[in-house]
Amino acid sequence: MAKIKLLSIDGNFAKELEVTSDLFVEVPHKQAMFDSVLAENAAERQGTHSTLTKGEVRGGGKKPWRQKHTGKARTGSTRNPHWTGGGVVFGPKPNRNYNLKVNAKVRLLAFKSALTIKLNEGKMLGLVANSDLETPSTKKMVNFINNANLENQKVLLVIADHFSNIKKSTNNLQKVTTKLWYQVSVRDLMHANVVVVAEEAFTNYARKVSK
């Protein structure tokens, strides 16, 4: 079992939570993490880039000069790829699929590895259950960050489904990223300096890995 410090919504220490060791690994698997982040980045590529081939470039239909007796190399069109402004050979075309396949077990191993790294570094905190604000308030979330000594740090706040007011309250905080527990990726975990996970999110993660 791993022990996580839980904070109240005002940013002060509330209690300790014992989290199942199934969420962590003994040794973080760097290759699994690399593969997962690579796949996440690749999946975001639009694949809409496009270049013009020789047949798509406008102009150049006329032979630039006669075939013989000019002292120049023969050529038939200014659209040829070796001409400035000519077509591109084997250039990128739209609708290319950049998605990379990563097996579910590898993705889970990568996620556990990222959680383990944050835990070992002391960069993982918790948020007590039922901590959602009654109404959206950026000021209260700023107080939470300040009281928890998280100023000037990139914070990933992992919340449960019903924490809608906290989500709205952090929209204007530049260094705070708030995501639902099932939206968090390995890249999100590694990009953040500190990860704050709601108690309900820990429960959901434990239920997920136990299947």
Q: What percent of the chain has pLDDT over 70?
A: 100
Q: Provide the pLDDT for residue 60.
A: 81
Q: Provide the pLDDT for residue 1.
A: 78
- Whether 8 has a pLDDT exceeding 90, the answer reads yes
Identify each DSSP E strand in the chain by its residue range. Answer: 2-7, 13-19, 124-127, 155-159, 176-180, 194-198
Q: What is the mean pLDDT of residues 109-125?
A: 96
Separation CA 39–CA 153 (nearest Å): 26
The set of residues, in sequence order, having a beta carbon less than 8 Å from that of 31 and lying 6+ positions away, is: none
Give pTM, 2 decimals: 0.82
Q: Provide the pLDDT for residue 177.
A: 96
- Whether 211 has a pLDDT exceeding 80, the answer reads no
The average confidence (pLDDT) of the chain is 93
Q: Provide the pLDDT for residue 194.
A: 97
Tens digits of residue pLDDT in 132-169? 898 999 999 999 999 999 999 999 999 998 889 999 99
Q: Which residues of 25-34 are buried (b: 16+ CB within 10 A; e: fewer)?
A: beebbeebbe
Residue type, 140: K
- Whether 29 has a pLDDT exceeding 80, the answer reads yes
Identify each DSSP E strand in 8-161 by its residue range. Answer: 13-19, 124-127, 155-159
Nearest to 125 by CA among 11, 33, 25: 11
Q: Is 5 helix (H, G, I), strand (E, B) or coil?
A: strand
- Whether 47 has a pLDDT exceeding 90, the answer reads no
- Whether 96 has a pLDDT exceeding 90, the answer reads no
Q: Provide the pLDDT for residue 200.
A: 94
Q: Provide the pLDDT for residue 91.
A: 92
- Whether 61 has a pLDDT exceeding 90, the answer reads no
Domains and CATH numbers, the chain: 2-45+98-209 (3.40.1370.10), 49-97 (no CATH)
